[in-house]
């Protein structure tokens, strides 16, 4: 390619880049954010003219977050009638793992955030011979005092193969002990024995969220975490966790 053609091509690329940068320049960021904002419980009720209800606010919020209602979607149908019917028919919301962690990232320290956390989910990718063998998921439902363990990726965590009760003492222990096993130190040269990777997600009842990602054997960033969750599994399910190879 000649130098002249290279120059023309360079000018064309720069022009395209500039057009791309300016395409949204006339959009007010605040207006764009408002369009994408999930409505609050108060706004949801106000829109449909509801001032009093026997439906708990937490249930309404779970319903809103399940369907991600924005201001412009409320006019498409009577969603108040829908949430009212679902509540009185015993429909459960707030257990869809694909939805409940899509909230607002919290800047609170973990020790403070976990005091109000109502669901904590630990997703595992188990490895064997350096290759992904199977997934696992432990869900701690602190609002309903339940622990679940699944080896299949159910969207509803209550569909897990294993379920057990948590006592109030168990719930408090989780709030006290889990933060001790998450330190998030920075050391790229740290070596660990990879049996599995994991993602820890947690939310509170207002859908503020927090998350961490790690590897088994990482005692720098997650001191004692391997032992902690396996002992919790044994205590509540009455058996040792077995790494299936």
Which residue in this structure is represented by tokens 């904002």? 37
Q: Residue 36: pLDDT band by 50, 70, 90 thresholds?
A: low
Sign of CA dihedral 16, 21, 25, 28: positive
Name 96's bridge partners.
156
Q: In Å, what is the CA distance from 55 to each residue of 45, 48, 88, 146?
A: 11, 14, 9, 23
| Mean pLDDT on 181-205 | 73
Domain spans, the chain: 27-93, 104-237
Q: What is the pLDDT of residue 193?
A: 57
Cβ-contact 51, 85 below 8 angstroms:
no
Cβ-contact 124, 144 below 8 angstroms:
no
Q: Residue 18: pLDDT band by 50, 70, 90 thresholds?
A: very low
Query: What is the SS3 assignment for 35?
Result: helix
Q: What is the pLDDT of residues 97-116, one digit of tens each?
A: 989 999 999 999 999 999 99
Mean of pLDDT over the chain: 82
Alpha-carbon 242 to chain mean position? 26
| Mean pLDDT on 220-241 | 93
The share of the chain scoring above pLDDT 90, in percent, equals: 63
Q: What is the pLDDT of residue 220?
A: 85
In angstroms, the CA 196 to CA 111 distance is 25
In angstroms, the CA 168 to CA 144 distance is 10
47-51, 86-90, 118-122, 153-157, range with the lowest pLDDT? 153-157
In angstroms, the CA 219 to CA 181 distance is 9
Q: What is the pLDDT of residue 4?
A: 38
Cβ-contact 77, 47 below 8 angstroms:
no
Retrieve residue 147's tokens: 């622990």
Examine the pLDDT at 195 and tell me if it is beyond 80: no
In angstroms, the CA 89 to CA 62 distance is 15
Retrieve residue 8's tokens: 């023309």
Hey, how many other C-beta atoms are within 10 angstroms of the C-beta on 197? 16
């Amino acid at each position: 390619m000649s130098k002249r053609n290279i120059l023309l091509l360079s000018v064309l690329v720069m022009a395209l880049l500039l057009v791309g940068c300016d395409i949204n320049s006339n959009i007010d960021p605040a207006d764009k954010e408002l369009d994408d904002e999930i409505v609050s419980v108060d706004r949801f009720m106000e829109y449909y003219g509801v001032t009093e209800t026997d439906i708990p606010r937490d249930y309404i919020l779970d319903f809103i977050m399940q369907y991600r209602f924005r201001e412009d979607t409320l006019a498409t149908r009577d969603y108040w009638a829908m949430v009212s019917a679902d509540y009185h028919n015993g429909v459960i919301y707030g257990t869809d793992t694909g939805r409940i962690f899509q909230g607002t990232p919290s800047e609170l320290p973990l020790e403070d955030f976990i005091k109000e956390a109502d669901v904590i989910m630990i997703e595992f990718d188990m490895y064997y011979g350096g290759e992904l063998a199977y997934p696992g998921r432990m869900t701690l439902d602190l609002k309903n005092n339940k622990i679940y363990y699944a080896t299949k990726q159910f969207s509803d965590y209550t569909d897990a193969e294993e379920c057990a009760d948590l006592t109030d003492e168990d719930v408090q222990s989780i709030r006290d002990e889990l933060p001790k096993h998450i330190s998030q130190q920075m050391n790229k040269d740290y070596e660990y024995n990879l049996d599995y990777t994991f993602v820890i997600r947690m939310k509170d009842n207002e859908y503020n969220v927090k998350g961490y990602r790690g590897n088994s054997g990482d005692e720098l960033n997650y001191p004692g975490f391997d032992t902690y969750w396996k002992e919790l599994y044994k205590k509540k399910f009455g058996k040792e966790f077995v790494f299936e190879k």
